Amino acid sequence: MDSKDDDRLATSELAARFMRVFDSSFKLMSQRRHHNHIFKDLSINQLHMLNMLYRHPGTAQKELAELLEITPPAVSTAIRAMEAMGLVERKADENDARLMRLFLSEDANQIVGENLSHRHAAIAKLLSVLPIEEQHMVVSSLEKALLIYTNHDNPTSEPYSDKCTE
């Protein structure tokens, strides 16, 4: 076996370890939070849409589709469902009445904000058990890997952005 094969095997084993750590930490975070039953039946795309609308209120459906790299019909279907659940509201654009802007409902805005704060605190708690130098190393290494991967996969894409939720 040559060194490239050894490296691939080592990377595969590290990926498995990383997945176990990630899954275990996510499970711990999930067990300690207050569950919002409103979100239990939402798809991953719908959850991403809620997070994006939290960060960018007033986004149009077409813009949301572009930001999340999903089809406009998929966004339309998801938004209709979330609107029926009382999570999303449409409002006419001030400058163009034909354009509808999307906003989270007051309840959804509060819940998404609480969930993001909880996730941030849980990640901070997980990192806090390491010395600060190792915390910097972990985060910097993951940022570097994401940047390289993103640019390798799509050289014209921007580095780490809001496309990744917290």
> Number of helices (H) and strands (E), helices first, in the chain?
6, 3
End-to-end CA distance of the chain: 40
Query: Per mean pLDDT, which range of 24-28, 49-53, 161-165 is the poorest?
Result: 161-165
pLDDT in tens, 125-155: 889 999 999 999 999 999 999 899 888 766 5
User: What is the C-alpha separation between 2 and 105, in angstroms, rounded?
Assistant: 57
pLDDT in tens, 37-85: 666 778 888 889 999 999 999 999 999 999 999 999 999 999 999 999 9
Q: Where in the chain is the domain with CATH 1.10.10.10?
A: 31-129
Q: Which CATH number fits domain 31-129: 1.10.10.10, 3.40.50.300, 2.60.40.1180, 2.40.110.10?
A: 1.10.10.10
Amino acid identity of residue 122, one-letter, is A
pLDDT score of 156: 54
Q: Is the pLDDT of residue 114 over 60?
A: yes
Does the global pTM surpass 0.75?
A: no
